[in-house]
Structure 1
Amino acid sequence: MSQMPPQPVDLMIEARWVVPVEPHAVVLENHAVVVQDERIVALLPIADARLAYAPRERVELGEHALIPGLVNSHTHNPMTLLRGLADDLPLMVWLQQHIWPAEAKVMGAEFVRDGVELAVAEMLRGGTTCANENYFFPDVIGATYRKLGFRAVVGLPVIEFPTAWAKSQDEYFERASEVHDSFRSDNLVSTAFAPHAPYTVSDESFERIRVLSDQLDIPVHLHTHETAHEVEDEKAKSGLRPFQRLQKLGLVNDRLIAVHMTQLTDGEIAACAAAGVSVVHCPESNLKLASGFCPAEKLRLAGVNVALGTDGCASNNDLDMFGEMRTAALLAKAVAGDAAAFDAAFALRAATLNGAKAVGLEAKIGSIELGKQADFAAVRLSELETQPMFHVISQLVYATGRHQVSDVWIAGRRKLAGRELVGMDVAAILERTHAWRERIASA
C-alpha cells in the first residue's frame, strides 16, 4: 500500500516545547503545530508532522516554547499615552485630580487611535494577542485593532456624566448599539458592555445593560470592589455592598467580568462561583495604587474563573503579561500564606485560557487545541536568564522576561518575526507618541 503524499497546509511551527495549556500543565517536547485557514489542524511530534504535511511556510523553533497568545483581560490601551503622568498616588486622587482632567483636555479619536497603536506594538512584543478593552471611542478602538490585525474585545462605555464620546445616557446606549452592530461579524473584534463602576453608573443604566447583554449575548465588563473605600461609600449610599447591588440588579451571572475584586467576603466568593462570574485580577495595578489584595487563591479554590489583566498604562505602567503572571503567583502565595498557592501552571492558564473564557472566546483561543484559531507566542528559553532548564512552565512564569518573545501569530498571521513587528512603522509610532507627550505636558 503506497503512502499518502504529504497534505499541503499554510503553516507548520516546529518547537522544542509546546505548552498547550489544555490539557492542564502538559508540556510536549519536539512537537509541531499545523495551521490551515487560520486554524490549528494538527498537533503531533515533529517527525510525524514532516511525513504528513507539506507546509507553505515552516518555522523551526529549536530553543523555544510555543504557548497560546496571552490574553490581557482588562486594559485601557489608549492610556498608554498617559504612561507615568501621575505616579505614586492613591486611586481616587490619581483618577479625579490627575487622569480625568488630563483626559478631558486631549481625549478624541486621534488620541485613542495613536494610544491603541502604541499599545498593540508593546503587547505584540510581549506575547499578548488579545486585549479586553475598556475606554471611550470604541468605534475608533475597534477599527484600529481591525486594521492592525489584533484580536480584541472592545468595551461599549457607559458612565453617568458627559464625555467626549457621549453627552447623555441615551446617547451612550445608542452609540453602543451602533458600535456593536459594526463588529457583529468580525473575526478579530467583538464587543462587551463596559459600565465604568458601580459608583459611576446608575441602577437604571445597569438595568438597561442587563437586558441588552442578554439580548446580544455579550459580556459586561466593569471595575468593582477595587478598594475598601468604594465598598464603604456604596454601603453608606444604598445600604448594600457593590456586589450585593449588582446581584439585586440581576448582573451577577456568567457574562459578568468583575475586575479587581480586592474586597470580598467568603459568601461573595461562593456567589461568584455559583453564578459563573469571571474575576480579572490586576495585581500590579492594585499594588501600585494600594487598592488592596484580591483573594486570588480563595477564588481559584472555590472554582471561580480567575483571569489576569494589566489595567491601563497610567496605573500599571506597562502591558507586560509575563510580569503580571509572576506578580500574581507571588502575591497570591503571600495573601494565602501558602507557598503552593496559584502555582505556575495556573498562572499561565489565568493569562491564556481563563482570560479567553472571561471574554467569551474560549471556543476560539486560549489554548493550542485542534480547531482553535492560531494565536501563538514563541518564547526563546535558551538565554542565560532562563537556564538551566528543569521545568518549562515554571521557567515561563518565574524567570522569563517579555524580551524573550521572538515571534507571534494571530489567526495564523505572523505579527512579530524575530522581535521585529510585521506591518507596523515603529518610527512613526514613536514620532506620534513624542508629539502627544509634548501636547499633554503643556495642556
Structure 2
Amino acid sequence: MNNREEIDTLIEAKWVIPVEPAEIVYNQHAIAINRGIIKDILPIAHANQRYKPQQTLTLSDHALIPGLINLHTHAAMTLMRGLADDLPLMEWLNKHIWPTENQHVNAQFVLDGTQLACAEMIKGGITCFNDMYFFPESCAQAAINSGMRAAIGMIVIDFPTPYASDADDYLAKGLELRDRYQHDPLLSFCFAPHAPYTVSDKTFSSILTYAEQLDAPIHTHLHETQDEIRISLELNGIRPLERMLQLGLLSPSLIAVHMVHLTDHEIKLVQQYDCSIAHCPSSNMKLASGFAPISSLVNQGVNIGLGTDGAASNNRLDMFEEMRLAALLAKASSGRADTLPAHQVLKMATLNGANALGLGKLTGSLAIGKAADITAINFSNINLTPCYDPISHLVYAASREHVSHVWANGRMLLDDKQLTTLDQTELQYRTTIWQERIATTSKQSI
C-alpha cells in the first residue's frame, strides 16, 4: 500500500460508460485523474490498491459518461429566451431577433448571456460547446470564467453589426482573437460564416483560404429551411450545398448545421466529402424547419453530432432532450424502432461532436490519456428505477436534472448540483437587468 502512486482525484462509480468502445459499461469502476488527464479506468478494488489520491469521490448510484458536447449554439442568445416564440424562421430573425441584437448586443451582453448559458449547460452535463455569435472575445472570456471547454466561432457575415463593419473586419477581429488565445488549453476556434444567404462567394473563398492555412473547422448554417433553398435557386441558380461544393467548402473541416432538406444526391455528397453535421432537433421542430433525414445520413456513415441551437429558438440548452428527440424522430421517420439505438445517440452527443471539432483525440470519450471531461448522472432517483440498461436510460429516461457532478479538464465545475465557478445569484441579477432593457424596446410584453 505504501507504493501506491499519488494522483489528484479518484472517482468511484456504479458504472463507467466510456462511449468508445461502443456499448461497453464497466461495473463498479473508478476513474483516476492526474493533472487534468484520465490516467486509468479500472475496478474500484484495484484502484484503491494502485493509487493514492488527494481526494476520492464515491458515487455509488451514479454513471460516469464523457462530458456532453453541444455542437451548435449561440450561447449569448440565452438572454433572448422566449422573446419571440411561435414565428417562422425568417420572420423571427428579420422582425425580432436582428432588431433586438442591433439595439442591445455588445461585449457585455455577450459576456453576461454566455455566462448564463454556461451555467445552464454545466448543470446539464455539458462540458464543451461550439459557439457562433458576435463579440466572440466575450464568449471566450465567459468560457474561461466558467471553466468549460469551448470552440469559439470567428463569426463572419456580409453586413455591418455593432461588432464589425464588413466581412474583412469580422475576419480580422476573429483571427486576432485566435492568435491571442490559441494556446489556451480549453479553447479552440472555428470559422463561423453565418449562412449562405448572408455570406458572399468572395467571403466564403477568403474563409476557406484561412481555414486551410490554419487547419480550422468551418461552422455554418446550411439547408435549414425551404426558403433558404428557394432564395439560393433564385439568386444563384443552384441549391446551397451545390454552391458550397463549387466553392470548395465540402471537406472534413465542414460542420454543416441543421441540414434538414437534403436530396439523396446531397446526402451522398456529404458522405463523399466526409463533412460533419450538427443536428438540432428541438430547434428544427420549434421553428417548423422540418425533419432532418438522420437515418439516411447515419446509413451513409456521416458523422453527426448534436446541438441545441440558441435558447432563443429552442428554448433550452439541454442535451438530454436533444438525445431523446434525435432518437425518437429517427425511429418515427424511418419506420424502424432499431434506427439510432441509444448507444449511437450517446456517441452523437459526445465523441461525434468532438471529432467534428477536431478534438476527438482530446475529449468525447473516457479513455486513458484523454482530458478528464466527465459528467456524473445520479440513478438513485425513483424516475430511473428499475434500470436494466444504463445507456438506454441515459437517452430515454434520464434528464439534465439527474446530473450531479461535472468535470472539465479534471476541474470540478458542478459539485452535487452546485456550481463551483459561477455565481448563480449574480447571473440572475445581470439577467434581470438585460430583461428589463430588452422589454422596454420590444413589442412583446415580457
For 1:424, the equivalent position in structure 2 comes to 422
Classify the secondary structure of the residue corresponding to 2:261.
Answer: coil
Partners of 1:287 and 1:37 lie apart in 2 by 42
TM-score w.r.t. the length of structure 2 is: 0.98
Measured in 2, the distance between the counterparts of 1:311 and 1:161 equals 22
Please tell me the root mean square deviation across aligned C-alpha atoms, in Å.
0.9
Match of 1:392 among 370, 390, 397: 390
CA contact (8 A) 2:145 2:422 kept: no
8 Å contact from structure 2 (residues 147, 421) kept in 1: no
1:91 maps to amino acid: L
Q: Is the 8 A contact 1:183 1:191 kept in 2?
A: no
Counterpart of 1:193 in structure 2 is 191
| Distance in structure 2 (CA, Å) of the matches to 1:276 and 1:370 | 27
Residue 221 (structure 1) aligns with: 219
1:176 aligns with 2:174: yes
Please give the residue correspondences for 1:260-339 in structure 2 after superposition, counting only pairs within 5 Å.
260-339=258-337
2:220 is the counterpart of 1:232: no
1:78 aligns with 2:76: yes
Instruction: Give the counterpart of 1:47 among 40, 45, 48.
Output: 45
Runs of at least 5 residues in structure 2 that lack an aligned partner in the other structure: 442-446
Letter in 1 for 2:325: T
One-letter code of the match for 2:102?
Answer: A
1:258 and 2:256 matched:
yes
Q: Cα distance, 1:299 vs. partner?
A: 0.8
Structure 1: distance between partners of 2:160 and 2:5: 57
1:5 partner amino acid: N
Query: 1 CA distance for matches of 2:236 and 2:2?
Result: 70
**Equivalent of 1:60, from 58, 64, 73?**
58
Gap runs ≥5 in structure 1: none
Per the alignment, residue 444 of structure 2 pairs with: none
Classify the secondary structure of the residue corresponding to 2:190.
strand
Post-superposition Cα deviations, 1:20-39, rounded to whole Å, max 9, x if no partner, equal 00001111100000011110
- Per-residue deviation, 1:423: 2.5
**SS of equivalent residue, structure 1 residue 200:** coil
- Of 263-272 and 303-312, the range deviating more from structure 2: 263-272
Give how far 1:4 is off. Answer: 7.0
Q: C-alpha distance in 2, partners of 1:143/1:417?
A: 22
* Secondary structure of the corresponding residue to residue 146 of structure 1: helix
Tell me if structure 2 keeps the 8 A contact 1:120–1:150.
yes
- Structure 1 vs Structure 2: percent identity of aligned residues? 49
TM-score (norm 1): 0.98
Residues 182-225 of structure 1, C-alpha deviation per residue, up to 9 Å, x if partnerless? 12111001110000000110000000000000001110000000
CA displacement, residues 4-55 of structure 1 (integer Å, 9 cap, x when unaligned): 7110001110010000000011111000000111100100111011100000
8 Å CA contact retained: 1:12, 1:35: yes
User: 1:396-411, aligned counterparts within 5 Å?
Assistant: 396-411=394-409
Residue 371 of structure 2 is aligned to residue 373 of structure 1: yes
Q: How many angstroms apart in 2 are the aligned matches of 1:253 and 1:277?
A: 5
Looking at structure 2, the residues matched to 158 and 114 of structure 1 have their Cα atoms a distance apart, in angstroms, of 22
Secondary structure of 1:198's partner? coil
Superposed CA deviations along residues 56-94 of structure 1, whole A, max 9, x for unmatched, are 010101000000000000000000000000001111111
**2:135 is the alignment partner of 1:137:** yes
Q: CA deviation at 1:169?
A: 2.0
CA distance in 1: counterparts of 2:362 and 2:98, whole angstroms: 36
Q: Distance in 1 between matches of 2:133 and 2:381?
A: 37
- Note the C-alpha offset of 1:147: 2.3
Work out the CA distance in 1 between the residues paired with 2:196 and 2:421.
40
Residue 115 of structure 1 corresponds to: 113
- Count how many residue pairs are aligned between Structure 1 and Structure 2: 441
CA contact (8 A) 2:119 2:146 kept: no
Structure 2 counterpart SS, 1:432: helix
